[in-house]
Amino acid sequence: MSEPSYHNVSPGRASPSKFSRRQLIATGLTAAAGVAGVGVAARLAQKYGLVPPDHGGVWGLGETLTYASQRLLTRHSLAREFSRDQISKPPFANEIEPFTDEFKRLQAGRFADWRLSVDGMVARPASFSIDQLKSYPSHTEITMLQCEEGWSYIAEWIGVPLSQVLQTVEVLPQARYVVYFSFEPDTWESIDMADALHPQTFLTYGMNGDELPVGHGGPLRLRVPRQVGYKNVKFLTHLTVTDNLKKFGKGVGGASPEGGYAWYAGI
């Protein structure tokens, strides 16, 4: 048993050898090793795609740690799926902008003229109608949509895996992100290839056994169930595959990051 701490009355600040040469050298070496370690870690993180596009600035530290750790932990994990009796009735539809005349015209034509164009780092750029997307084997899942505000609902989503479409247009190997755009102006986001090729990431045209209601982003919405609501862009019209998000907008990969929200929204 050591002595109680208050036995150790400080000798005061008179001691001249508080920082010995040995201590200074040790501190210097530790600091140098620390800086080198951070440098190596940054290199490795960059190489293995663990650095989010909004890694700069005051929030860069937290964002990079969140993105890197979740990428390492969740690269292949599946979002929780629910049973049919857990489906929320009715599903809650968040606020949307009033429809434009152009949208109303498309809606009147039952979205027969709606197109999803895909370009960028792909061998065969293409444009898909909703019917063409429906011709692929459909994918159904009952997952939760949760908003960053705190509310949530569970729905059955029907659509085609994004990986199916990316395979059709033949994504080039150097691709790193998929940028996706809405019919609504200035509404676009992006995801990395780990999420783009994830089996639960899909283009949804149906919900709860029916067409996807316009209130929920119909005729076409991207579902990324492992990220919160704002990454699940409604009224999808355009996808671009890229290796660099700097080319888009302000270079942080989406309208939400440009509006002050995190690019990666897995939390």
Q: Between residues 133 and 192, which has the closer beta carbon with respect to another protein? A: 192
* Residue 175 vs 255, nearer CB to another protein: 255
Q: 139-146 and 152-161 as β-strands: parallel, antiparallel, unpaired?
A: antiparallel
The window from 80-88, 133-141, 163-171, 211-219 that contacts another protein (CB under 8 A) reads 80-88
Distance between CA atoms of 173 and 196, rounded to whole angstroms? 14
Q: What mask of x and - would describe binding to another protein in positions 111 to 150, judged by CB under 8 A? A: ---------------------------------x-xxxxx
Residue number with CB closer to another protein (69 or 244): 69
Please select the residue that binds another protein; options are 32, 35, 36, 78, rule is CB under 8 A: 78
* Residue 12 binds another protein, judged by CB under 8 A: yes
Q: Does 2 bind another protein (CB under 8 A)?
A: yes
Residue from 152, 167, 174, 244 binding another protein (CB under 8 A): 152
Task: State which residue, 135 or 152, has the beta carbon closest to another protein.
Answer: 152
Q: What is the DSSP letter of 171?
A: B
**Residue 80 within binding range of another protein, rule CB under 8 A:** yes
Can you tell me whether residue 132 is helix, strand or coil? helix
CB of 214 to another protein, least distance (A): 17
Count of alpha carbons within 13 Å of 153, Cβ hemisphere only? 14
Q: Binding of another protein at residue 63 (CB under 8 A)?
A: yes
State both tokens at 155: 């729905």
Cβ atoms of 84 and 156 within 8 Å: the answer is yes
- Pick one of 26, 73, 112, 172: the residue that binds another protein (CB under 8 A): 73
Tell me how far apart the alpha carbons of residues 231 and 79 are, in angstroms, rounded to a whole number.
Answer: 15
Question: Is residue 172 classed as helix, strand or coil in its secondary structure?
Answer: coil
Structure tokens at 246: 């700097």
Instruction: Note whether 221 and 236 are within 8 A (CB).
Output: yes
Tokens of 7: 């036995």
Spatial distance between the Cα atoms of 95 and 97, rounded to a whole number of angstroms = 7
Catalog residues that contact another protein under the rule CB under 8 A.
Answer: 2-12, 59, 61-63, 65-66, 70, 73-74, 77-80, 82, 86, 88, 90, 92, 94-95, 144, 146-154, 225-228, 259-262, 266-267
